[in-house]
Amino acid sequence: MSSEDAAASDPAGGADTDADHENALQDVIAVDPDDTEQGTVNRLDAHTGDGIRHRAFTCLVYDGEGRILLAQRAPTKRLWDGHWDGTVASHPVEGQSQEDATEQRLEEELGITPDQYDDLRVTDKFEYKRYYPNEGVEWEVCSVLKVTLDDTSLDPDEAEIGGMLWVDYDHLHEHPALYRQLRLCPWFEIAMRRDFS
């Protein structure tokens, strides 16, 4: 893993100075660099100060034409609000597999149900750490999952998703300057760079 990959952010939410924030009521799985569990930690604690390394995932959602679905993070998100993700990202809870956690978030955020795909799989894993100015930090061992939709019907949750855009995945990778105005999430940029290396 390069030093770039080891520098990164929290897909699912992030830090808050307010102990009443919803993240203060949740736990994430602390891990070592090899993704071995080290117990659970408060999600808010994991995303403040210098952070605590924890387990996360990002899922890249495609259609049958090789396009990827970019989902814009809602403006209420604590970290990387308004940025574009490819496509959903979050954290599994204790005892939950990456596949099960991903299946849950696909349905919660986008209304994508398991009968719309049959190829959900883990394709990569990397560690990264990114600071979001004045708000918090993401320090994650992030698994990358991919899925291709047979049925592209979507029912996004407006509390999670600000916008959606299907784009040609190869074109996005080959011409990043053309998409700069979208402000991509750092974990997605890392996942995409590694996918083409």
**Residues making up the binding site for Mn(2+):** 47, 54, 91, 138, 140
**Binding residue ranges:** 47, 54, 91, 109, 138, 140
Q: Which of 103, 127, 140, 160 is an active site residue?
A: 140
b (16+ CB within 10 A) / e for 100-137: ebbbebbbebbebeeebbeebeeeebbbbbbbbeebbb
Query: Do 179 and 172 form a contact (C-beta atoms < 8 A)?
Result: yes
**Binding residue ranges for Mg(2+):** 109
E-strand ranges in the chain read 27-31, 37-42, 54-62, 67-73, 84-85, 88-90, 121-132, 136-148, 161-168
Query: Do 41 and 88 form a contact (C-beta atoms < 8 A)?
Result: no
Q: Is 117 helix (H, G, I), strand (E, B) or coil?
A: coil
Q: Is 30 helix (H, G, I), strand (E, B) or coil?
A: strand
Catalytic residue status for 140:
yes
CA–CA separation, 88 and 5 (whole Å): 19
Q: Which residues are catalytic?
A: 140
